Amino acid sequence: MSFVLEKSDRKLAVLVDPDRYTCGSALHTQLRSATPDLLLLGGSTLLQDNLETCIADLRSQYSGPIYLFPGSQFQLSPKADGILLISLLSGRNSDLIIGKHVEAAPLIKQYGLNTLGCAYLLVDGGRLSSVQYISQTLPIPRDKPEIALATALAAEQLGFATIYLEAGSGAKLGVPLDMVRKISAAVSIPIIVGGGIRSLEMMEKYFHSGANMLVIGTAIEEDPSALTEMLITARASAKMSLR
Ligand code: 1GP
């Protein structure tokens, strides 16, 4: 099952970190009645070899697409529907812009995974993030929307399918709204925003600023029942955007 994101969409993806996921947990139960548009699976590190167990467990409850969101080339599986193929375009670590992708490409092809090419822009989220530490790259400063905008324009010109504005999991401060607004207005490819999104109000503001999909991990990990209200907010924002 492939996943498509359009510029008119207002979707919600839930990020599941395999290291922090327990089979049959509250989130597993919650997914039976609350169906996000996409499940993303991955993390900056992978301490346990349980990727496939997680996919099987999630799939028993969830009928939507499950995409890998890999922190490394070790987080690949033929059991997923696809892969969010991120290129860390805000950094200058060539391995994470194209190197790892070349290493993984034959396996992705062999596994028959759907791919969604994504320019990944790390933005300062007010604290040192795992992505920043592991990738050894500098995030885009919060008060420099022009750098984020120029990088987003380059991503569009290079032919990326989507742009992911990432403040880092557990960010103190999410991606600035003004940055989302400026980029969304300037590019015609869809925008994904994630990192530090914890409230319905914040979700609404991001959607209103032009985000096409929000990725939420920590808040749902801490309280899986929050997913129901978050989905209602996403669906309401989708209806508003169509008006
Ligand atoms: C991280 O954007 C995601 O890649 C999710 O962040 O865990 O803060 O929701 P949170």
Q: Which atom of ligand 1 is nearest to the CA of 166?
A: 2
Phi, psi values for residue 212, rounded to 5°: -95, -25
Residue 242: its pLDDT value, please?
76
CB 16 within 8 A of CB 27: yes
Domain ranges, ordered by start, for the chain: 11-241
Task: Please state the atom number of ligand 1 nearest to the C-alpha of residue 197.
Answer: 9
List average pLDDT for each run of 10 residues in the chain, which is 243 residues long. Answer: 97 94 91 95 81 94 95 88 98 96 96 98 96 95 98 98 97 98 98 98 98 97 96 95 77
How far, in Å, is the centroid of ligand 1 from the Cα of 77? 21
Q: How far is the CA of 195 from the centre of ligand 1 (A)?
A: 4
pTM for the model stands at 0.97
Report the candidate in 191, 232, 242, 180 with the shortest Cα–Cα distance to residue 215.
Answer: 191
Ligand 1, from 38, 39, 131, 197: best to mutate by most atoms within 8 Å of Cβ? 197
Query: Strand runs (DSSP E) across the chain, as ranges?
Result: 11-16, 38-41, 66-68, 82-88, 114-122, 162-166, 191-194, 213-216
- Pair 47, 32: CB distance under 8 Å: no
CATH among 3.20.20.390, 3.10.20.740, 3.40.50.10420, 3.40.50.2300 for 11-241: 3.20.20.390
Give me the residues paired with residue 162 across strands: 118
CA of residue 243 to ligand 1 center, whole Å: 29
Is-contact 140 123, C-beta < 8 A? yes
Q: What's the 2 CA to ligand 1 centre distance in angstroms? A: 22
